[in-house]
C-alpha cells in the first residue's frame, strides 16, 4: 500500500504549462509590449480613481464609495492573470506550479465574483437615487453601503471556494498543458485523471445561480428606473440615463463575456481565450476611462489631486 501511495504521489502533476496566445515568436514579443502597456494603464488608472475618491471630500456619495471598491477590485483581478501571461511571452514554456495554479483559479473567481456583486449593488444604488431621491440619503446609509460591499467580498470568497476546492481535490496525473493562458475551471477539468463531470456541473450551477440572481437584480433596477421616468421631460431622461450610462456600459462589458464563458458545460477553449482577454485585460483597463470621461466631478477631483501633488513636489 505504501508503495502504491508513493507511486501515485510521484506521478501527480507538480506544475502546469500555460498556453500562449500565439506560437509565433515575433507576435509574442508584440503581445508582450501591448499587454504590458494595457496592464500598466489598468493599474495606474484604477489606482488613480481610488486615490481621487479617498482624498476628495466632495466624492463621498455611495456611488463613489462603490466606484472606489470597484477600481480596487479591478487592480486585483487583472493582477491575478496579467503578470503571468505577460512574463510567459518571454519564455519558451510558461509554467506555473500546482499551488500557484490553484491560487490563480481562486483569485480569478474571488475578485471576478466580487466585482459582479459590486456592479449589482451599484445598479441598486442608482435605482434608489433616481426612483426615490428624497429618501435616498436615509435608504443608502453609510452602514448599508458598507454591508453591501462586505457582502460582495464575502460572496466572492464563498463562490471562489466552491469553485476551487473541488477542482484542487481532483487527481492530476497525466497531461499538464492547460489550453488557456491562465488556470480556469473548464481547461483544468479536461486534464483530470478522473470523471470530472460532477465538478463541472457544480461549477456551472454555482456560476448560473449567481448570474441569475444578479441579472434579476440588474433588470429589476433598470426597469424601475425606466418606469419612474415616465412622463418626465427630456431633460430628466437625459440626466438619469447619463448617470446610469457608465454603469450599464461596465455591466455589459464585464458581465456579458463572463456569462458566455462560465454558464456552459463545455465549449471551444480557443473561443474562451479570446473572450477571456476581453474581460481580464481590456475591461479593467476601460473602467477608469468610462467613469471619468462621463463624470465631471471625478475629472475635477482628479485635476485638483494632480495639482496638489505637483505643488507639494
**Residue from 139, 152, 131 nearest 243 by CA:** 131
Residues 6+ apart with CB under 8 A from 134: none
Q: Grade residue 261 by pLDDT with cuts at 50, 70 and 90.
A: low
pLDDT at 10: 39
Whether 213 shows a pLDDT value over 80: the answer reads: yes
Contact between 298 and 55 (Cβ < 8 Å): no
Q: All 3 cell numbers of residue 114?
A: 466580487
Cα gap 24→79, rounded to integer Å: 25
Q: Is 18 helix (H, G, I), strand (E, B) or coil?
A: strand
pLDDT at 313: 57
Which CA distances in Å does 127 have to 53, 140, 151, 152, 225? 22, 11, 19, 18, 6
Domains of the chain: 15-288 (1.20.1070.10)
pLDDT at 304: 80
Most confident of 120-134, 223-237, 270-284: 120-134
Per-residue pLDDT reduced to its tens digit, 57-66: 788 888 889 9
Per-residue pLDDT reduced to its tens digit, 37-77: 999 999 999 998 998 888 887 888 888 899 999 999 999 99
Taking residues 286-308, what's their average pLDDT?
76
Edge-to-edge strand ranges of the sheet holding 177-178: 94-97, 15-18, 177-178
Contact between 54 and 293 (Cβ < 8 Å): no
Taking residues 81-85, what's their average pLDDT?
92
Per-residue pLDDT reduced to its tens digit, 139-157: 899 999 999 999 999 999 9
Contact between 87 and 94 (Cβ < 8 Å): yes
Contact between 152 and 105 (Cβ < 8 Å): no
Contact between 262 and 202 (Cβ < 8 Å): no
Whether 6 shows a pLDDT value over 50: the answer reads: no
Q: All 3 cell numbers of residue 230?
A: 415616465
Per-residue pLDDT reduced to its tens digit, 167-193: 999 888 878 898 888 998 888 988 888
pLDDT at 5: 39
Q: All 3 cell numbers of residue 141?
A: 446609509
Amino acid at each position: 500500500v505504501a508503495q502504491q501511495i508513493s507511486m501515485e504521489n510521484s506521478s501527480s502533476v507538480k506544475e502546469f504549462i500555460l498556453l500562449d496566445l500565439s506560437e509565433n515568436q515575433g507576435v509574442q514579443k508584440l503581445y508582450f509590449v501591448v499587454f504590458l502597456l494595457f496592464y500598466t494603464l489598468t493599474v495606474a488608472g484604477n489606482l488613480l480613481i481610488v486615490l481621487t475618491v479617498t482624498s476628495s471630500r466632495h466624492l463621498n456619495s455611495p456611488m463613489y464609495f462603490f466606484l472606489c471598491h470597484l477600481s480596487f477590485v479591478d487592480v486585483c483581478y487583472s493582477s491575478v492573470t496579467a503578470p503571468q501571461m505577460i512574463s510567459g511571452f518571454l519564455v519558451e514554456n510558461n509554467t506555473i506550479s500546482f499551488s500557484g495554479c490553484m491560487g490563480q483559479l481562486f483569485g480569478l473567481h474571488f475578485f471576478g465574483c466580487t466585482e459582479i456583486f459590486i456592479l449589482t449593488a451599484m445598479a441598486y444604488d442608482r435605482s434608489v437615487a433616481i426612483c426615490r431621491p428624497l429618501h435616498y440619503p436615509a435608504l443608502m446609509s453609510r452602514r448599508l453601503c458598507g454591508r453591501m460591499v462586505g457582502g460582495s467580498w464575502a460572496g466572492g470568497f464563498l463562490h471562489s471556494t466552491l469553485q476551487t476546492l473541488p477542482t484542487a481535490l481532483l487527481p492530476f496525473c497525466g497531461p499538464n498543458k492547460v489550453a488557456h493562458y491562465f488556470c480556469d475551471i473548464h481547461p483544468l477539468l479536461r486534464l483530470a485523471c478522473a470523471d470530472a463531470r460532477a465538478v463541472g456541473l457544480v461549477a456551472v450551477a454555482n456560476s448560473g445561480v449567481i448570474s441569475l440572481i444578479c441579472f434579476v437584480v440588474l433588470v429589476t433596477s433598470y426597469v424601475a428606473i425606466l418606469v419612474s421616468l415616465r412622463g418626465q421631460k427630456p431633460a430628466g431622461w437625459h440626466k438619469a440615463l447619463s448617470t446610469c450610462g457608465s454603469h450599464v456600459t461596465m455591466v455589459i462589458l464585464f458581465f456579458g463575456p463572463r456569462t458566455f464563458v462560465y454558464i456552459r458545460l463545455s465549449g471551444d477553449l480557443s473561443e474562451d481565450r479570446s473572450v477571456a482577454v476581453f474581460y481580464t485585460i481590456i475591461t479593467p483597463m476601460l473602467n477608469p476611462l468610462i467613469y471619468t470621461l462621463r463624470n465631471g466631478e471625478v475629472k475635477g477631483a482628479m485635476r485638483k489631486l494632480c495639482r496638489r501633488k505637483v505643488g507639494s513636489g
